[in-house]
């Protein structure tokens, strides 16, 4: 028998709004537990991680509420909120969402993955009234994660002056900045504004011209850029590019031997934590013995140009002396420690900062894909999309909101695909998440599902468009989020 044609929803407008909010709540709950389970294996202090991500792009209502509860953060409420539903309640909600999606003929890949996780959690639940987050956490423990708790692990943040204490004046006379792409150009420009003596270089001549147009000093070559520099800043695509620049390739020598002894190298790219440790091992064999500093950034191109990025820093420098020596560079791109949360310097060694960025990208990547999935559902339901946005971001459905939902949905609704952050970036970042999770022995169901959506986007030719363009995945089904609302 041939399948019947899709039907229209019989739900009222309020019921439809609630259904989409429920769908978001379900997925945010599973995603938060998955992210914390991954983080539990990295050696990070989870309360420190929580504090950082609450102020970053990976934040959501569910992350704040569930994280506070699991980690015993002082502000946590003792009364379960709507984002802390029982396992039985979330199971009821997910079955309703999936039943409606079948009626509508609408695939919901992330929601189906969450449904399977909730089903698996029944085996490890103490009963139907147990909070879903606790049952999910126990499920991930059986799969290899450590217990999610706020217990201190001996790691902390390095204490630096907030500017109220006198420090020795910086001796920086030249800072080499390599990689003047969309992010790098803004970061280097912010250093000019902060009166940091920066010299820029990029292999792409138009990027050099843009830097020169904003008053930047450009080097004629990579060798010219690093000669005599007291600090090297790298904002490149991958760790392989960083290695090629410093160590060289079979066809091109690296600049490692041109560096002054013990030159700090700030690597701002999102890279695998395990590989940045390997790179430092290779650098230690150079006569110049440069010091690699793990310093991933968050905030996007606009904040980069404004000099108010969030930068998370870690290094094999437990006294903080090397990092203190390049404070003008870090302060110029973040506003400094006097701007709460912008500059976070972690103890624990090289790679810790990249682990924090890894978890943030896990959350952010899933959240954009989830926002797209929620818009597909709301559009198929016949909802007025701006009404849904208002309901989720400011109204009774805030249990389903996230930083990415509020930032990306407006782009999805207008169809503005100007790449503030290209979709191909999440293919790279979520691939790193999957690889590092595999190394740690932790499955990442939601991140892996979201990755498939971004791969689809790249395959469809959207890789250079804004990541919000993933909402077009449902257009072959007649669903267009960008209309004249």
**Neighbour count for residue 393 (Cβ, 10 Å):** 16
Backbone angles phi, psi at 395, to 5 degrees: -105, -150
Give me the sign of the Cα torsion angle 450, 65, 56, 16: positive
Three-class SS state of 402: strand
Please tell me the distance from the alpha carbon of residue 342 to that of residue 55, in angstroms, as a whole number: 9
Distance CA 406, CA 6 (A): 30
DSSP strands (E only) in 107-256: 175-178, 198-201, 217-218, 231-234
Please state the φ and ψ torsions of residue 177, each to the nearest 5 degrees: -120, 115
Please tell me which residue in 193, 357, 394, 480 is annotated as part of the active site: 357
Known catalytic membership, residue 96: no
Q: How many CA atoms are closer than 13 Å to the CA of 98, on its beta-carbon side? A: 16
Q: Which residues contact 207 (CB under 8 A, 6 or more apart)?
A: 180, 181, 184, 185
Looking at the chain, the number of H-run helices and the number of E-run strands are 19, 9
Rg (CA), the chain: 23
DSSP bridge pairs for 67: none
Of 26, 17, 2, give the one whose Cα is nearest residue 446.
26
Residue 61 to residue 110: CA distance in whole angstroms:
18
Distance CA 442, CA 200 (A): 40
Which pairs count as long-range contacts for 89-95, CB under 8 Å and 24+ apart, including other chains? 89/132, 90/25, 90/26, 90/29, 90/118, 90/132, 91/118, 91/119, 91/122, 93/22, 93/23, 93/25, 93/26, 94/22, 94/26, 94/118
Active site residues: 357
């Amino acid at each position: 028998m041939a399948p019947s044609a899709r039907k229209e929803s019989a739900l009222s407008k309020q019921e439809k709004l609630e259904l989409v909010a429920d769908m978001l709540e379900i997925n945010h709950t599973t995603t938060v537990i998955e992210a914390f389970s991954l983080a539990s294996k990295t050696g990070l202090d989870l309360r420190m991680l929580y504090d950082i991500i609450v102020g970053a792009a990976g934040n959501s209502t569910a992350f704040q509420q569930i994280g506070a509860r699991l980690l015993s953060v002082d502000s946590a409420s003792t009364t379960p909120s709507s984002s802390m539903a029982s396992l039985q309640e979330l199971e009821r909600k997910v079955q309703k969402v999936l039943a409606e999606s079948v009626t509508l003929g609408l695939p919901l890949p992330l929601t189906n993955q969450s449904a399977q996780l909730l089903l698996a959690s029944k085996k490890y639940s103490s009963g139907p009234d147990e909070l879903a987050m606790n049952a999910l956490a126990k499920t991930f423990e059986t799969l290899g994660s450590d217990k999610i708790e706020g217990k201190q692990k001996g790691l902390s943040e390095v204490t630096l002056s907030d500017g109220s204490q006198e420090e020795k004046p910086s001796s920086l006379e030249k800072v080499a900045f390599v990689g003047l792409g969309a992010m790098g150009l803004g970061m280097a420009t912010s250093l000019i504004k902060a009166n940091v003596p920066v010299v820029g270089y990029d292999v792409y001549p138009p990027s050099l011209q843009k830097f020169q147009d904003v008053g930047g000093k450009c080097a004629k070559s990579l060798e010219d850029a690093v000669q005599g520099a007291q600090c090297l800043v790298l904002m490149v695509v991958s760790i392989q590019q960083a290695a090629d620049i410093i160590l060289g390739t079979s066809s091109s020598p690296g600049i490692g031997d041109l560096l002054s002894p013990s030159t700090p190298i700030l690597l701002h790219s999102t890279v695998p934590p395990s590989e940045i440790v390997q790179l430092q091992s290779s650098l230690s064999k150079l006569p110049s013995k440069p010091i690699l500093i793990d310093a991933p950034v968050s905030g996007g191109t606009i904040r980069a140009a404004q000099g108010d990025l969030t930068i998370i820093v870690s290094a094999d420098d437990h006294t903080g002396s090397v990092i203190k020596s390049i404070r003008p560079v870090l302060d110029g791109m973040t506003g400094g420690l006097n701007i709460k949360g912008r500059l976070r310097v972690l103890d624990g060694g090289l790679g810790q900062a990249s682990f924090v960025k890894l978890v943030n990208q896990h959350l952010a990547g899933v959240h954009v894909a989830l926002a797209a999935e929620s818009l597909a559902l709301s559009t198929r339901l016949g909802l007025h999309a701006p009404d849904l946005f208002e309901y989720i971001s400011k109204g009774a459905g805030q249990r389903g909101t996230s930083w990415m939902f509020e930032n990306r949905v407006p782009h999805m609704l207008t169809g503005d695909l100007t790449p503030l952050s290209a979709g191909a970036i999440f293919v790279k970042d979520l691939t790193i998440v999957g690889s590092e999770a595999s190394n740690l022995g932790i499955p990442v169901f939601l991140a892996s599902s979201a990755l498939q959506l971004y791969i689809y986007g790249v395959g469809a030719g959207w890789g250079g468009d804004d990541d919000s363009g993933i909402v077009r995945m449902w257009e072959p089904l007649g669903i267009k989020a960008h209309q004249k609302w």
